[in-house]
Structure 1
Amino acid sequence: MQRMEKHTQTMAGHWLKLLVCSLMMMNTQVRGSNDVEFTFLESAVSKGAVCLNGSPPAYSYVKGYGEGASNWVVFLEGGGWCHSKRNCQYRAKSMMGSSLTRGNKTAFSGLLYKDKLFNPDFYNWNKVFIVYCDGSSFMSDIEEVDPETNVTYRGARIFNAVMEDLLAKGMKDAKNAVLAGTSAGGLATILHCDYFRGLIPNASRVKCISDSGFFIHAKNLPGAKQREDYYANIVATHRLANFLPASCSSKMNASLCLFPENLVGDIQTPLFILESAFDSFQIDHNYMTLAFNSTPEWNECNTNLTRCTSTQIQNIKDFRVAFIETLQKLDNRTSSRGMFVHSCYLHGHIFMNEEWSCSSVVGHNVLENKTIAKAIGDWYFDRSSFQHIDTTNDVPRNCTSTLTSEELCKECIHQLN
């Protein structure tokens, strides 16, 4: 009888979770209940903290509750960079250069998701999404407005203004805190990590998560000079030389200080590097396009790996070798450094449920039998260290799910049980 009751309770719990899944899908797709409105920092404009087009900074914020009331996770949006006056002028007219051309809210997912089942370690924390509209990984600070293009370069002021507002909202009393970001936001996380730690010196635990932000120089691969020139143009356009970490710029040309391999060794705050050895953005933009120029044949390969030629696959594999070698040259002996490097052809993870807590479903993207969320949660709370690079799979894997949202949700629940 007890066994039957236990089985009945287990089945009831399973069906309850499926019901939760269906309701979650309904809330997200129909009612949009996971959307969070932007806060526009009009008061920051007088301080010169503005987007490329002069619009005010913006962020979305959800207040924490329960045990998470004193904990904070701050997420920096990604979206590349602008690397010339004209390129920044073009960007200023887009949603990546303005806070006013993208609606008034964003959907929280992944690390910022509100559901305990899918985000057990951070679901009830204070959660912040910072809009990226400066094209410099929140690093630029040029006083004058460009008279020719009317573009303003003030990314660092945006970061500081939002931090000041969050500190006033209670982040100054945080017990635990995370600074995280994806792509250009992942690079921004690396660049601002120690500074962020200094803003809340009384916190018990402050750590940083860089998602797809470890951009490599790859000096031994074709296109190394083009990559160096590309990032040098970013540094020159935004006049970043004096704002990049002196621990790097005092040893080498500042243009090399946007490559994290030259930065992370000096970061004192615990840092987690989440990446793919087949980072699709880096392979497409920083390697194949800069080194070989974009071709219709490459574009077909980039969007569908089954269409790649043997030469293209070899080029992709060469990038993986360079990427892993770059990571392995870092001093990773400290347990405060976390690392999850897989072999899916992807760029960006922690802001998507399917890659965050459901990575076991999407292409079976797990390392050491852990999903991305589990590996990062264990590392953050010191339950166990995690430093793992997939050195086995030397061919890029397609990890894009073909399941519907509801099928993915249900399969994810099954994996989480």
Structure 2
Amino acid sequence: MKMITTTLQQLLLWLNFTSLLIATLSSANSSDGQNLVGLSLVPASRAHPGAVCLDGSSPGYHLQKGQGAGQHSWLVHLEGGGWCSTVQECIYRARTARGSSSFMSPVAFAGHLSNSPLENPGFHNWNRVFIRYCDGASFSGNVNEPLIVSARGHSMRLFFRGQRVWEAVMEELLTRQGMLNATQAILSGDSAGGLAAFHHCNDFKKKLRGDTIVKCLLDGAMFLDMPSISGVSLIKDLYRKVTTLHNVTSLSHTCTSKQDRGECFFPQYNLDSITVPMFFLQSSYDSWQLRNVIAPAIVDPSHAWSLCTTDLSNCSKPQMGVLQEFRQALLRNFRPLLGHPMWGMHIVSCLHHTEELYSYLWNGFTRVNNMTALQAFSKWYFGGGVVQNIDCAYPCNYTCR
């Protein structure tokens, strides 16, 4: 009988997901051209002094104006996309859309940026902003002078000014686009953009009017200070290089007075500095961290972990033991937040990295406590109560896809 009930639940969930998928595809094929939103640049003539991308080009953002009841509500999203920790990495990055606005194209707004009432109820008619990530240090670098380097026989200048890009785009949104009149505002970000949203959350609140309701949404941003299977914390070394190369100086003084900047780049050492309500979307088997923090190729030359970190069903018992230790470490960092309505969370046991920009994950089939990511966040945001969904350990969640 229990098996029949479970099967029926799966069928109902699948039917709901199928209906949403059909509606989403119909919306994508409508006259709005998949809801493509064009790029707006912040010209140097009115930008925060020296606010430029890695290659010296102007920073950019994509804005879809709010309508009706949402015209004074704002959702500002910071794009993710890793970091550059060496000059050579930054040279390469400067020749892509993650380092230069010269390569940026229109963006299709989906997931929590969607304008579809079915796909994104509660937020579809807000002012929705997608800020492009073009500095390589989670919008936090602040080096005064450009670095002159040689690349392919030519000299070029690299600018490490992510903090100024943040300031410039905020000024643009506040003074020229009307965000200063916001009655409510959300700062969100995915991956490295989520890390940026974490470190800029308090400042975002300070830039808005005192009566504006402000909350932050972080997606796949709880990067852990954990050793790899070799016993060395490679990500800590990465963060130390990033914060040094880019001169990251905007981190919490509470943390930097006790620890180095590389350590203070981790959210886990800064939770007590946050004063704005914050919601975490996170996988307890974060695919990026499993492949780049726990078992990166550099410490797995035989590729013994590659199948496991691609599909958890391929993991051996010892490998799964390591992954369960990762999950427990993640939950230990969330433990001090439990029971407090200021902190919301939706921790899923599926193998992925981020959710909010993907319609099928934001409001699709995957659930924790029978709630999608959108439903969990909406209940926390609008309800004001405690919403802290923590999934059971793999492989219990049959909605993972």
Normalised by the shorter chain, which TM-score bucket?
A: 0.7 to 0.9
Residues 174, 203 of structure 1: 8 Å contact kept:
no
For residues 222 and 327 of structure 1, the distance between their equivalents in structure 2, rounded to whole angstroms, comes to: 25
Are positions 1:339 and 2:345 aligned together?
A: yes
User: Alpha carbons of 1:193 and 1:50: their partners in 2 closer, same or farther (altered >3 Å)?
Assistant: same
Residues 239, 265 of structure 2: 8 Å contact kept:
yes
Residues 227, 293 of structure 2: 8 Å contact kept:
no
The equivalent of 1:232 in structure 2 is: 240
Deviation string, structure 1 residues 121-171 (Cα, Å, up to 9, x no partner): 101000000010100000011111102252110101111111001002110
Are positions 1:174 and 2:182 aligned together?
A: yes
Are positions 1:94 and 2:96 aligned together?
A: yes
The equivalent of 1:23 in structure 2 is: 26
The equivalent of 1:11 in structure 2 is: none
User: Alpha carbons of 1:81 and 1:33: their partners in 2 closer, same or farther (altered >3 Å)?
Assistant: same
The equivalent of 2:145 in structure 1 is: 144
Q: Which amino acid aligns with 1:287?
A: I
The equivalent of 1:270 in structure 2 is: 277
Partner SS state of residue 128, structure 2: strand
Q: Which amino acid aligns with 2:115?
A: K
- Structure with bigger helix share is 1
The equivalent of 1:302 in structure 2 is: 309
Residues 343, 394 of structure 1: 8 Å contact kept:
yes
The equivalent of 1:285 in structure 2 is: 292
User: Alpha carbons of 1:236 and 1:368: their partners in 2 closer, same or farther (altered >3 Å)?
Assistant: same
Q: Which amino acid aligns with 1:215?
A: F
Scaled by the length of structure 1, the TM-score of the pair is 0.84
User: How far is the alpha carbon of 1:108 from its aligned partner?
Assistant: 0.3
The equivalent of 1:165 in structure 2 is: 172
For residues 244 and 384 of structure 2, the distance between their equivalents in structure 1, rounded to whole angstroms, comes to: 43
Residues 216, 277 of structure 2: 8 Å contact kept:
yes
Residues paired across the two proteins, number = 376
Structure 2 stretches lacking a partner, 5+ long: 1-18, 151-156
The equivalent of 1:406 in structure 2 is: none
- Structure 1 runs of 4+ aligned residues shifted over 4 Å read 16-22, 219-222, 395-401
Deviation string, structure 1 residues 13-65 (Cα, Å, up to 9, x no partner): xxx989855531423xx862411000011235682111111111011001101
For residues 19 and 232 of structure 1, the distance between their equivalents in structure 2, rounded to whole angstroms, comes to: 46
For residues 24 and 51 of structure 1, the distance between their equivalents in structure 2, rounded to whole angstroms, comes to: 34
User: Alpha carbons of 1:93 and 1:19: their partners in 2 closer, same or farther (altered >3 Å)?
Assistant: closer
Aligned-pair Cα RMSD in Å: 2.5
User: Alpha carbons of 1:367 and 1:307: their partners in 2 closer, same or farther (altered >3 Å)?
Assistant: closer
User: How far is the alpha carbon of 1:306 from its aligned partner?
Assistant: 3.7
User: How far is the alpha carbon of 1:222 from its aligned partner?
Assistant: 5.1
Q: Which amino acid aligns with 2:26?
A: L
Are positions 1:393 and 2:399 aligned together?
A: no
For residues 301 and 99 of structure 2, the distance between their equivalents in structure 1, rounded to whole angstroms, comes to: 25
Residues 81, 234 of structure 1: 8 Å contact kept:
yes
Deviation string, structure 1 residues 347-367 (Cα, Å, up to 9, x no partner): 010111111111xx1xxx222
For residues 228 and 57 of structure 2, the distance between their equivalents in structure 1, rounded to whole angstroms, comes to: 42
Q: Which amino acid aligns with 1:92?
A: A
Partner SS state of residue 167, structure 1: helix
For residues 311 and 398 of structure 2, the distance between their equivalents in structure 1, rounded to whole angstroms, comes to: 8
For residues 342 and 27 of structure 2, the distance between their equivalents in structure 1, rounded to whole angstroms, comes to: 35
For residues 130 and 234 of structure 1, the distance between their equivalents in structure 2, rounded to whole angstroms, comes to: 21
User: How far is the alpha carbon of 1:98 from its aligned partner?
Assistant: 1.2
User: How far is the alpha carbon of 1:264 from its aligned partner?
Assistant: 1.6
Scaled by the length of structure 2, the TM-score of the pair is 0.87
For residues 74 and 308 of structure 2, the distance between their equivalents in structure 1, rounded to whole angstroms, comes to: 40
For residues 305 and 186 of structure 1, the distance between their equivalents in structure 2, rounded to whole angstroms, comes to: 25
For residues 20 and 299 of structure 2, the distance between their equivalents in structure 1, rounded to whole angstroms, comes to: 49
The equivalent of 1:127 in structure 2 is: 128
* Residue of structure 1 aligned with 2:356, choices 350, 355, 362: 350
The equivalent of 2:110 in structure 1 is: 109
Q: Which amino acid aligns with 1:180?
A: S
* Residue of structure 2 aligned with 1:201, choices 171, 195, 209: 209
The equivalent of 1:212 in structure 2 is: 220
Percent identity reads 34
Q: Which amino acid aligns with 2:361?
A: E
User: How far is the alpha carbon of 1:224 from its aligned partner?
Assistant: 4.3
Q: Which amino acid aligns with 1:121?
A: G
Deviation string, structure 1 residues 247-279 (Cα, Å, up to 9, x no partner): 210121221101111112210000111101100
The equivalent of 2:330 in structure 1 is: 323
Residues 177, 203 of structure 1: 8 Å contact kept:
no
User: How far is the alpha carbon of 1:327 from its aligned partner?
Assistant: 2.0
Residues 186, 213 of structure 1: 8 Å contact kept:
yes
Residues 77, 184 of structure 1: 8 Å contact kept:
yes
User: Alpha carbons of 1:347 and 1:18: their partners in 2 closer, same or farther (altered >3 Å)?
Assistant: closer
User: Alpha carbons of 1:17 and 1:252: their partners in 2 closer, same or farther (altered >3 Å)?
Assistant: closer
Partner SS state of residue 156, structure 1: helix
Residues 81, 136 of structure 1: 8 Å contact kept:
yes
Residues 48, 167 of structure 2: 8 Å contact kept:
no
Partner SS state of residue 298, structure 1: coil
Partner SS state of residue 89, structure 1: helix
Partner SS state of residue 119, structure 2: coil
Deviation string, structure 1 residues 270-316 (Cα, Å, up to 9, x no partner): 01111011001011101111783354332233333343333333322
User: Alpha carbons of 1:132 and 1:399: their partners in 2 closer, same or farther (altered >3 Å)?
Assistant: farther
User: How far is the alpha carbon of 1:114 from its aligned partner?
Assistant: 0.2
For residues 396 and 55 of structure 1, the distance between their equivalents in structure 2, rounded to whole angstroms, comes to: 48
